[in-house]
């Protein structure tokens, strides 16, 4: 009699553990997507204006131009990760955790690429002039 209760406790513990990790992973995904959406909504347009003012007539690197021109499509992709993750959790699909983890990886890579793409063109704008007092 004691063994079925242990198995039931083990099953309940496993269910609570799975729910915790699904919730924790979804929370991480939502935070990362919110960061990327903030970058695409507010930071990228500011950088586009800076590039337009500081580098008139110069072409931007392809990655930078893609981030600036395709930011609406990137926002749609970013907002779809947590929505579909929640849908898969609700439907109890077995690949829900895989989808959420892929979304976390995708969003982290996209944040990194966005930041790099915005700061790479700044290398030509910011120049250091040598100090005349140094030998």
Tens of pLDDT, residue by residue over 17-65, are 878 888 888 899 999 999 999 999 999 999 999 888 888 888 888 888 9
* Residue 3 token pair: 């063994």
Please determine, for residue 69, whether its predicted confidence score (pLDDT) is greater than 60: yes
Summarize pLDDT for 5-20 with one digit per residue, the tens. Answer: 555 555 555 878 878 8
Full-prediction pTM beyond 0.85? no
Region 122-130 average pLDDT:
58
Whole-number pLDDT of residue 17: 82
Place of tokens 């110069």: 58
Distance of alpha carbon 27 from alpha carbon 103, whole angstroms: 12
Name the token pair of 89. 């959790």
Say if residues 117 and 99 touch (Cβ distance below 8 Å): no
Residue pair 36/59 in contact (Cβ under 8 Å)? The answer is no
Q: From CA 85, how far away is CA 100, in angstroms rounded?
A: 6
Given a contact cutoff of 8 angstroms between Cβ atoms, the answer to whether 108 and 32 are in contact is yes
Percent of the chain whose pLDDT exceeds 70: 81
Domain ranges of the chain: 14-123
Q: For the segment 81-101, what is each residue's pLDDT rounded down to a tens digit?
A: 899 888 888 888 888 888 889
Separation in Å, CA 103 to CA 43, 64, 92, 135: 22, 22, 17, 53
The pLDDT of residue 1 is above 70: no
Q: Which residue has the tokens 């991480």?
A: 28
User: CA of 92: how far to CAs of 15, 57, 66, in Å?
Assistant: 12, 53, 36
**The predicted structure's pLDDT at residue 76:** 93
User: What average pLDDT does this structure show over 54-79?
Assistant: 89
Measured in whole angstroms, the distance separating CA 30 from the mean position of its chain's CA atoms is 9
């Amino acid at each position: 009699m004691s063994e079925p209760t242990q198995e039931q406790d083990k099953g309940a513990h496993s269910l609570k553990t799975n729910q915790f990790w699904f919730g924790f992973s979804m929370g991480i995904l939502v935070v990362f997507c919110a960061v990327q959406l903030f970058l695409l909504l507010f930071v990228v347009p500011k950088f586009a204006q800076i590039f337009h003012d500081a580098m008139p007539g110069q072409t931007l690197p392809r990655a930078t131009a893609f981030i600036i021109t395709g930011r609406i499509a990137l926002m749609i992709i970013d907002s779809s990760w947590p929505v579909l993750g929640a849908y898969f959790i609700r439907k109890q699909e077995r690949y829900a955790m895989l989808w959420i983890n892929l979304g976390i990886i995708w969003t982290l890579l996209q944040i990194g690429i966005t930041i790099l793409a915005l700061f790479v063109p700044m290398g030509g704008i910011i120049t250091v002039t040598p100090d005349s007092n140094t030998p």
